[in-house]
Structure 1
Amino acid sequence: MGKPKKKKAINPIEGIKYTICGEWFPDVYPALRSLKWSRGDEDPLDTEMRLFCSCTRRAFNRLLEDRSREELKKEGQGTFGLNSRFCDDAILKAKEVAESQKQLLALEIEETAKKLARAKRKLDRAEKDLARANKVGDTVKVGKAKRTVRGRKMRVKDLSDKLAALQAHKENGTMPEVVFGGRSLWKRVCKGKASREEWKNARQDRLYARGDETKGGNLNLRMSRRNGEFSLSVTISHLSERKGTDSKDRPIMTRAPRVTGKLWLPEKHRQKALMLLLSRTPYSVELIKGRDGRYRAHITFTVTAPETVTSPNRGYLGMDTNPDGVALASVSYTGQPEPWPEGFTVPYPKALHKFDGEFQVTVHPNGFLYIKIPELAYSRGYRRTYLIGVLAKVVVDIAKTLGKPLAVENLDFGKDRLDTKRKFNRMAANFPFRKIIEAVTRRAFREGVGVKPVWPAHTSTIGYWKYMQRYGIIIHHAAALVTARRAIGFKE
């Protein structure tokens, strides 16, 4: 495999997506219940969510039959009682699922082919080991080699069958079955480890509405601010009734009632949300009901990318990513480590206060530092995501202070790398490299900091032999130095 072409620094020049995640507390519900659409004791909001998710699943299946959007939109209004906007948004979500599955199919074929080639090589080596053991006559090695060969043959057969099935989907223009609600949860239901009620809730847990500039932001899921507090109102479209038709024979509906409630937003996002409302910029809202019964609102809008505040002429801030943190190296345009400026300090995150040593920084005066967050190596999903966000903010703030773009390694920990080596699989699966890089890149985009991914091969090896002893640093600092030098254009 040849060395890929160098990538230029990523500096956004167009608008970028910005998402605010808040929590919604509905408190005012319409008194009316629909005898036609509601089931049991569910409230109107749950009914609207169930109808929207059902419309999304139906639209997905009909899109596979090449049905038109207008046709699906008209059917959705009659079948599920939703207004035209909700139906259109359900079709959009279904189309996104279908497009993502087509892209994942090509990626899955590529990864499975790589796994199969690797498994065949391992089988070939195992068969050679068996032949040598038979030649020597060592019964213990023969037995062990036979078990290995049998396991490798089963692995090759499973991957061959999987690859054939995926290629058949590609040739026929189809895709693997999509399980709305989650395949893993469905398997747990089949094994009796999860209830059917939990399965139903996972399939009817969200509402989505796109923004519209002509409607002052968003018509179906509208955000507002009154008396210093944000609120969110949700249109319950299935409670709207038909009262006639217009000149073009389109139905005229009564005004749909709304469910309203307080919307809590993180303090750091409230000013941006206020400016969003004042400018009447369109925004999309996805309302998700969690397993704990709480409602999370994801508000997405487009913001203008800030001007770039970093310059490659000053050098690069190299970053080496590790399971428990990152190593940074400040490198000048000459490719040599540059000492930290006078008065330089690493900002300590205000929200980290669980225990001593939660956020550790080791600064070397010659331009190197290591940020260690021990919990990254073993913390669970939400906690790890939060810690990665904190780490990304600190790294980007350092780069912004120095005026240098970031140089990061373009490592690959895709599923094709995962094979029969349990130790490597566990390390690769737990290593949050991709999340760290993505979080740093997103933060850098918003702050106007340039990011340049570089070819990662042998950065640690080169750093060990060339720079580790010269500068008296650890291997991770040396790798960060090599990464920054590659971004500048030096060849080791």
Structure 2
Amino acid sequence: MITVQAKLIFESYEDRQKTLELMRRWSSCMRFAYKRLLEGFDRNSLKRELQGIFDLNSRYVDDAIMKAKAVLESCKQRGEDPRKAIFGGRPLFEKLKKRHINGKPYKKLKIEWQEKRKGNLYSRGDRSKKGNLNTRIVVNKSGTFLRINIGDRKYVFARLSAGYKKDKDRRQILQEIAALGVPYSVELKLKNGNVYAYFSVEELFPAIEITRENGAIGIDTNAYPNHMAWVEVDRSGQFISYGKIPMPELESGTSDRREYYRWQYAHEIVKIAKEKRKAIVIERLNIKDKGTRGDFSGRKSRRIRHFFSYRSLLYKIRILAKREGIEVIEVNPAYTSVIGMLKFAPQFMISKDIASAYVIARRGLGKKERIPANYMELLSRLDTSSLEELKEYVRKEVKNANLKKRQIKEIEYVMSKIQSPGSEPGRLFAPLGGTSAISCSESYNLWRVLRVAVVTPLSPDRVLRDMSVLKRILVSGQVGGPEIGASSCFLG
């Protein structure tokens, strides 16, 4: 969707008052419909009743019912009580209720709350009417206007002003929308005594010309340090080139400033994909606040995550790519960092962020990653006694304050899932193609076990950054005795 904002300039005071009265009646209609929906009324019965009560045509009433239903569904999805919804904003309502502000500041808050409560109007577009019947963009020699239906086949015309600097571009967009005859929705809002119109139209993207048939560009976003890693692969998933885009501007600053730089970084990625004629593969992120016991435990980490805004950046990449006719593929990001760290970082001597982007690119092409044979051989040599030694070693290291909570939580989880095979002696992990001898209460991924069994003994007191030490395991399947004093039986 494309949304264009414009300020309404009325030709007379009477036209402005008629529009404000229409907005007040529509807002009241929407609140009334919300209450009736809570009581179980259906749309058809409400539509006939509300037209007579608020003196609105059927289209306005239908839009009011749709908005009320959207608010009701939103409350239910958030787990809130729909009966306690406050139109106009709960924060402003709580401030006004406490009466801790007097004089002009109180009057200003009250006016702001009344504007949010009563100064709204929404009108949906209609393809059969080639635009919007109640609020239509009209272009003539005098300029660009919004024609507002105030009832009884009477109309009010307001000039559309989009600001001094952007007036020309936005006016041109509005004129193109009116000329194409596509359906567009219009929402009027009253702010600081001025009426603003928001025009939303579904964007028509060109046909996809750059597809995964030519290869792909994998994108891995990282909040700490702020950068975006990308890797280019060919159609068979072979490594071609890579790079990093530092993004220090996303660590702080105003919301508008960060939004501007997100668009700039998205343009850089799309430019690279367009020049190389490759599709773009991004992560399907589901960012959640995991609290003090999850991945985002520290104050600094939460601040960086807040300013970075993964979802907003990837959304911009997706939109810009579609405008350029570039295919965008979303993949599940599970285990991409672990696989990249253990398998590809030592092979190509690259950082784990670049390796993670490589895994994402290959996954976008439908490639699946297998655990290297030497890693499986290493795991297969784990017998019961060595497993107990590994568990005892990990238990001691977990108590070490140098380990981060994220590492401790992961290690404890994996160790709790690995159990002795009981009376069946010998190996816990059968080689590829063999029968599994793992005894678990629930299924888990061998990549997680491999990370604990290999990486933790090599780097128990810090996050392992240099993955080159794993290359000798991949090549020979052997690794020297660790200097930290851990048993070498589970290190080959």
TM-score for the superposition, normalised by structure 2: 0.63
- Residue of structure 1 in register with 2:288 after alignment: 414
Does 2:131 match 1:217? yes
2:262, 2:313 within 8 Å by CA — same for their partners in 1?
Answer: yes
Per the alignment, do residues 425 and 317 of structure 1 end up closer, same or farther by CA in structure 2, a change over 3 Å counting?
same
Per the alignment, do residues 422 and 60 of structure 1 end up closer, same or farther by CA in structure 2, a change over 3 Å counting?
farther
1:233, 1:261 within 8 Å by CA — same for their partners in 2?
Answer: no
Deviation at 1:332, TM superposition (A): 1.5
Please list every run of 5 or more consecutive structure 2 residues that lacks an aligned counterpart in the other structure: 371-492
Does 2:17 match 1:43? yes
SS of equivalent to 1:406: strand
Question: What amino acid maps onto 2:96 in structure 1?
Answer: V
Does 2:115 match 1:183? no
Per the alignment, do residues 412 and 20 of structure 1 end up closer, same or farther by CA in structure 2, a change over 3 Å counting?
closer
Count of aligned positions: 353
Deviation at 1:90, TM superposition (A): 1.0
Per the alignment, do residues 178 and 396 of structure 1 end up closer, same or farther by CA in structure 2, a change over 3 Å counting?
farther
Deviation at 1:223, TM superposition (A): 1.0
Question: What amino acid maps onto 2:318 in structure 1?
Answer: T
1:96 to 40, 61, 70: 70
1:308 to 208, 211, 214: 208
Per the alignment, do residues 215 and 458 of structure 1 end up closer, same or farther by CA in structure 2, a change over 3 Å counting?
closer
Distance 2:18 2:227 in 1: 46
Distance 1:463 1:82 in 2: 61
SS of equivalent to 2:78: helix
Deviation at 1:484, TM superposition (A): 0.9
Question: What amino acid maps onto 2:230 in structure 1?
Answer: L
Deviation at 1:467, TM superposition (A): 4.2
Does 2:357 match 1:383? no
2:324 to 436, 447, 455: 447
2:112 to 198, 208, 215: 198
Distance 1:179 1:384 in 2: 31
SS of equivalent to 2:114: helix
Does 2:369 match 1:478? no
Does 2:10 match 1:27? yes
Deviation at 1:293, TM superposition (A): 4.7
Per the alignment, do residues 21 and 371 of structure 1 end up closer, same or farther by CA in structure 2, a change over 3 Å counting?
farther
SS of equivalent to 1:31: helix
Distance 1:44 1:446 in 2: 40
SS of equivalent to 2:24: helix
- Residue of structure 2 in register with 1:490 after alignment: 368
2:123, 2:187 within 8 Å by CA — same for their partners in 1?
Answer: yes
Greater relative contact order (Cα < 8 A, sep 6+)? 1
Does 2:271 match 1:369? no
Deviation at 1:202, TM superposition (A): 2.0
- Residue of structure 2 in register with 1:256 after alignment: 154
2:229, 2:245 within 8 Å by CA — same for their partners in 1?
Answer: yes
Per the alignment, do residues 428 and 385 of structure 1 end up closer, same or farther by CA in structure 2, a change over 3 Å counting?
same
Question: What amino acid maps onto 2:24 in structure 1?
Answer: R
Which structure 2 residues correspond to residues 268-417 of structure 1 after superposition, within 5 A?
Answer: 273-290=174-191, 292-323=192-223, 324-338=226-240, 367-415=241-289, 417=290
1:67 to 32, 41, 49: 41
Question: What amino acid maps onto 1:450 in structure 2?
Answer: E
SS of equivalent to 1:217: coil
- Residue of structure 1 in register with 2:337 after alignment: 460
1:59, 1:90 within 8 Å by CA — same for their partners in 2?
Answer: yes
Distance 1:215 1:307 in 2: 26
Please list every run of 5 or more consecutive structure 1 residues that lacks an aligned counterpart in the other structure: 1-17, 33-41, 106-165, 167-173, 241-252, 339-366
How large is the RMSD of aligned CA atoms in angstroms? 3.1
Per the alignment, do residues 334 and 70 of structure 1 end up closer, same or farther by CA in structure 2, a change over 3 Å counting?
closer
Distance 2:179 2:333 in 1: 45
SS of equivalent to 1:413: coil
1:396, 1:443 within 8 Å by CA — same for their partners in 2?
Answer: yes
Deviation at 1:472, TM superposition (A): 5.5
Per the alignment, do residues 304 and 431 of structure 1 end up closer, same or farther by CA in structure 2, a change over 3 Å counting?
closer
Per the alignment, do residues 414 and 260 of structure 1 end up closer, same or farther by CA in structure 2, a change over 3 Å counting?
same
Q: Which has the larger radius of gyration?
A: 2
Deviation sequence 1:88-137 (CA, Å, 0-9, x none)? 211111122223333333xxxxxxxxxxxxxxxxxxxxxxxxxxxxxxxx
1:335, 1:490 within 8 Å by CA — same for their partners in 2?
Answer: no
Distance 1:401 1:268 in 2: 27
Does 2:145 match 1:231? yes
Question: What amino acid maps onto 2:182 in structure 1?
Answer: T
Deviation sequence 1:422-475 (CA, Å, 0-9, x none)? 535444444301111222223333433222222223433443444446555444
Distance 1:397 1:289 in 2: 39
Distance 2:364 2:195 in 1: 44
1:20, 1:269 within 8 Å by CA — same for their partners in 2?
Answer: no
Q: Percent identity?
A: 32
Distance 2:65 2:50 in 1: 9
2:6, 2:196 within 8 Å by CA — same for their partners in 1?
Answer: yes
Deviation sequence 1:186-224 (CA, Å, 0-9, x none)? 334345467222222222232211123444421222112
Distance 2:347 2:127 in 1: 59
1:433 to 270, 288, 310: 310
